[in-house]
Amino acid sequence: MLAQILINGLILGGLYACIAAGFSLVWGVLNIINLLHGTLVVAGSYGAWLAWRYWGLHPLVALPLIALASAGVGAAIQAGLLNRVVAAPVLITLVVTFGLDLVANNALLLGFGADYRSIRPTWTLGTAVIGGLRIPLDRAMAASVALAMTGLLWLLLRRSWLGRAIVAVRMDADAAGMMGIRVRRVYVATFALGTGLAGAAGALLGLVFPISPLQSEAYLGTAFTVCVLGGLGSVVGAAAGGLMLGLIESVATLYFGAEYASVTSFVLLIALLAIRPDGLFGRQGFA
Amino acid sequence: MRRLAAGMALLLAAAALLPIVGGPYALRIGMMLAMYISLASSWNLLGGMAGYPSFATAAFFGVGAYTGALLQGAGGPLPLAWAAGGVASALVAFVVGWVVLPLRGHYFAIASLAVVIVLRQIATNWTDLTGGGMGLNLPVLALGPEAQARMIYAAQAVVAVLATLVSVVVAGGRLGFSLRCIKQNETAAGMLGLNTRAAKATAFVLSGAIVGPAGAIYASSVSYIEPGDVFDILLTVEPIIMTMLGGVGTVFGPLLGAGLFLLLEQTVWASFLSVHAAVLGVLVVVLALFLPDGVLGRFRRARA
């Protein structure tokens, strides 16, 4: 029983890590809480649904396209709107991203309605049973891809020129500017990376969960909680926080029932904020 | 200042006359205006004066609405049910504030938002007390619809007047000074001996005490509430938009903003129901980008 909970929790956690990685990146580098994040995840799910419904594409095949498209949307938002308010007080950036979220969520509601949809690809891996443990292989694969993408982000931040520029801007935007980094462009690239990851996470989640615009709030809450659990602005923290939250929620589902699983994570969020606002692992440098 | 006082007196006289001369539509608009003024003024206490981006308004509203509804359902007299809504919300504000008020910036914003979501889910899941997602029906008042509309309007108007009075007193007094110091530099204010924690807590509890009755009266007026309705995130955001429209941190900004917001709502959104949220979103973005100090701020800058 415990091993089964562990497996469910890890699968959930891998997906959560991917939801939170982009959110954490944007928060850490731009100091903007992107309230649009949850809706972007849902939009990614709808992208996967459309690709499956009309072109018969498996979400994994559609994933790169969806990631590119949502990165493009993100770049446009940052270049057109958010770059104007990057240095503004917290309230202003919160209000701007909230306004964008209202627009995007309303658009999804108009386009798709509030009822739940799901993707049922013809190609599935089925469920493996090992020693009495049931492992849903499709979900496990989605979680692995999610973790792999999170790892890719980590590599990108570590190894690539762009990644080093992002880290430099996070550490000291003024100094980075003086060293010849075009800070505004790095902001655009960072936000595009964050939204691209959100879209990609959405495509994977579409494979696992029912899709509805109403889900966006839950995804946003998940991203918050993971960031606070793992510590803000570190990819490793997002991965660790995501896995932890997945485990916690699957244990909470067992003991309190599914309807209290998300209450548990939000209460945990508030409690953690009160005790250790920098996350369980304290503040770490980016990547 | 004398002109301002005269304007306020005129507004009060109009508010008092409305139930006598106004029809049902005017009463409805008056009731909504009063409720918006209460919500915006209460948010302005902490959010505007101290610069703490609180998203907890919907939590106070929902707690007030459910407390009032439950008491009214148990046969309690209306004024008592409404007052109890305020007491319950103030209590929630005290307890929640104790946890979230030490946080700053984004962390505070998120924690206060999470409080709304947690309370909504508790209201949804605690079926025995709240009726869960099915909602809660309130007993129908033993009044004609017109008398009821008049009474509800009067009650919301009283709350709005009290909210404005609280704003005036706070802004002119020691508490307002403390809150403005916190907005400028909280650490420095603390080092100079200001009890920042007490100031923030007082403002937060006052907000709860104002929003709670507004929620309870709202519950009586619609006679049916459900968690998604009274713990709606929009209830948290709209007061912020109103305050930003009028002028953040000023006493009269929330009043002006509530009026402008209602005007927009009635003229623009009535014709675009299905894209209500999207239009609101666009308004918010435009407002934050181009008019961050509100109409009052723009006006002052133009005069200066």
DSSP conformation letters of B208-270: HHHHHHHHHHHHHHHSEE-HHHHT-HHHHHHHHHHHHHH-TT-SSHHHHHHHHHHHHHHHTGG
pLDDT (average), residues B50-60 = 91
Total structural domains in chain A? 1
B121 reaches A (C-beta below 8 A): yes
Residues from chain B contacting residue A220 (CB–CB below 8 Å):
none
- What pLDDT does residue B216 have? 94
Quote the CA–CA distance of B179 and B186 in Å, as a whole number.
Answer: 9
- What pLDDT does residue A40 have? 95
Tell me the two tokens of residue B304.
Answer: 């200066």
> Nearest residue on chain B to A81, judged by CA atoms?
B289
What CATH number should be reported for the domain holding residue A73?
1.10.3470
- What pLDDT does residue B82 have? 92
Interface contact flag, B284 A221, Cβ < 8 Å: no
> Nearest residue on chain B to A276, judged by CA atoms?
B103
- What pLDDT does residue A173 have? 83
Domain assignment present for residue A285? The answer is no
Whether the predicted pLDDT of A284 surpasses 70: no
- What pLDDT does residue A280 have? 58
B237 reaches A (C-beta below 8 A): yes
- What pLDDT does residue A279 have? 57
pLDDT (average), residues A16-40 = 90
Interface contact flag, B117 A221, Cβ < 8 Å: yes
Domain of residue A249 covers: 2-114+137-275
Residue B281: which of A103, A259, A267 has the nearest Cβ? A103
pLDDT, one tens digit per residue, over B106-144 is 888 888 888 998 898 888 888 878 777 777 888 777 777
Give the start-to-end residue ranges of the domains of chain B.
Answer: 31-242
- pTM, entire model: 0.82
- What pLDDT does residue B303 have? 56
Q: Which of A107-121, A242-256, B270-284 shows the lowest mean pLDDT across its residues?
A: B270-284
- What pLDDT does residue B300 have? 67
Domain assignment present for residue A166? The answer is yes
Mutate to test the interface with B, among A32, A84, A93, A102 (most CBs of B within 10 A): A102
pLDDT, one tens digit per residue, over A159-212 is 998 888 888 888 888 888 888 888 889 999 999 999 999 999 999 998 888 898
Query: Minimal Cα–Cα distance from B118 to chain A, Å?
Result: 6
φ, ψ dihedrals at A136, nearest 5°: -70, 105
Quote the CA–CA distance of A273 and A277 in Å, as a whole number.
Answer: 4
Whether the predicted pLDDT of A282 surpasses 70: no
Query: Minimal Cα–Cα distance from B266 to chain A, Å?
Result: 19
- What pLDDT does residue A108 have? 92
Interface contact flag, B283 A99, Cβ < 8 Å: yes
Residues from chain B contacting residue A274 (CB–CB below 8 Å):
99-100, 102-103, 111
Interface contact flag, A263 B280, Cβ < 8 Å: no
φ, ψ dihedrals at A50, nearest 5°: -60, -45
A79 reaches B (C-beta below 8 A): no
> Nearest residue on chain A to B47, judged by CA atoms?
A91
- What pLDDT does residue B25 have? 84
Q: Which of A58-62, A155-159, B8-12, B178-182 shows the lowest mean pLDDT across its residues?
A: B8-12
B292 reaches A (C-beta below 8 A): yes
Q: Which of A14-18, A70-74, A271-275 shows the lowest mean pLDDT across its residues?
A: A271-275
- What pLDDT does residue A198 have? 95
A275 reaches B (C-beta below 8 A): no
pLDDT (average), residues B67-89 = 90
Residues from chain A contacting residue B233 (CB–CB below 8 Å):
217
A181 reaches B (C-beta below 8 A): no
A269 reaches B (C-beta below 8 A): yes
pLDDT, one tens digit per residue, over A49-61 is 999 989 888 888 8
Between B231 and B271, residue with greater pLDDT: B231
Query: Minimal Cα–Cα distance from B279 to chain A, Å?
Result: 7
Q: Which of A74-78, B88-92, B261-265 shows the lowest mean pLDDT across its residues?
A: B261-265
Domain assignment present for residue A55? The answer is yes
The mean pLDDT value of chain B amounts to 86
Quote the CA–CA distance of B199 and B185 in Å, as a whole number.
Answer: 14
Give the count of Cβ contacts less than 8 A between chain A and B: 118
- What pLDDT does residue B280 have? 81
Mutate to test the interface with A, among B43, B112, B118, B286 (most CBs of A within 10 A): B118
Whether the predicted pLDDT of A247 surpasses 80: yes
Quote the CA–CA distance of B194 and B186 in Å, as a whole number.
Answer: 9
Residues from chain B contacting residue A89 (CB–CB below 8 Å):
51
Interface contact flag, A102 B51, Cβ < 8 Å: no
- What pLDDT does residue A192 have? 95
Cα–Cα distances in Å, from A33 out to A206, A227, A232, A262, B82? 24, 11, 11, 21, 36
SS3 content of chain B, % helix, strand, coil (to 5): 80, 0, 15
A99 reaches B (C-beta below 8 A): yes
% of chain B with per-residue pLDDT over 70: 96
pLDDT, one tens digit per residue, over B156-196 is 999 999 999 999 999 888 998 999 998 888 888 888 888 88
Quote the CA–CA distance of B260 and B243 in Å, as a whole number.
Answer: 10
Whether the predicted pLDDT of A287 surpasses 50: no
